[in-house]
Amino acid sequence: MPIRTASLNNQIQKTGVRLHLAMMSRVHSQGADHAASEEEQALMDEHRLLKEAQAKRRALAKLPKPKAAASEKKAKPPKAPKAAKEPKEPKEPKSAKLAKDHLSRSEKHAKKAESLEAAKRAAKKSAKT
């Protein structure tokens, strides 16, 4: 099972600490002249293997990464031109409005003034009677 990249530094540090403790305990108890024990030798091998794995990963990281191939756009067949529309039938002309229905602005104002005057006169007559 491969070791996670993020955990290598911690593992190297932990094995280094254990190896150092094992070496110092051997030196303190037996002296520096004695050979390493099997436990100490196993720790050395484990530490060395972890450092080699880290060196391999660093070498692989420097290599160029494979890039995704650029997707080529497929050429679409040209669309068929749309059929020409038939011309529409002409509409019937609108009937002209009668002149009495259409009042100009001045005529509207005059009509409004007349209605106001008529309303005033009607109000005055009803008040007198």
pTM exceeding 0.85: no
- Map out the domains of the chain as residue ranges: 5-62
Which pLDDT band, with edges at 50, 70 and 90, does 106 fall under?
very high
**What b-and-e string marks burial along 24-62, b requiring 16 or more CB atoms within 10 Å of the CB?**
eebeeeeeeeeeeeeebeebeebbeebeebbeeeeeeee
| pLDDT tens digits, one per residue of 25-57 | 888 888 777 887 888 889 999 999 999 999 998
CA 103 to chain centre: 62
Angle subtended by helix axes 38-62 and 8-30, to nearest 10 = 150
